[in-house]
């Protein structure tokens, strides 16, 4: 991989991080909306229970995807710093 190829990865890598963060915020907003709609106290026992479980699972998946993307970005930045020192 040439230096220019590696440098062009910056925008693509950052775009992945941004998209994963946006997916996380969207999943969190969807879960919050379901919680707002639910009328139960101390745990859902209504018709929204399965939707809330699915939204929690989606939020968890989005969280791990976001963390993976942020780790990838941090590793890329570390490599760039090492490369700049040379």
pLDDT for 34-71, tens place per residue?
999 988 877 778 888 899 999 999 999 999 999 999 99
**Residue 47: DSSP 8-state:** T
CB atoms within 10 A of CB 54: 13
Is the pLDDT confidence value at 21 over 90?
yes
Only one residue has tokens 């229970």, namely 49
pTM: 0.81
pLDDT at 4: 67
Q: In which band, very low, low, confident or very high, does the pLDDT at 10 lie, cut at 50, 70 and 90?
A: confident
pLDDT at 5: 66
């Amino acid at each position: 991989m040439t230096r220019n190829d590696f440098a062009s990865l910056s925008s693509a890598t950052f775009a992945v991080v941004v998209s994963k963060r946006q997916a996380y915020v969207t999943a969190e907003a969807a879960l919050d909306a379901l919680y707002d709609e639910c009328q139960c106290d101390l745990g859902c026992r209504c018709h929204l229970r399965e939707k809330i479980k699915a939204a929690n699972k989606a939020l968890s998946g989005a969280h791990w995807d976001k963390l993976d993307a942020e780790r990838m970005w941090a590793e890329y930045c570390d490599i760039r710093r090492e490369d700049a020192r040379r």
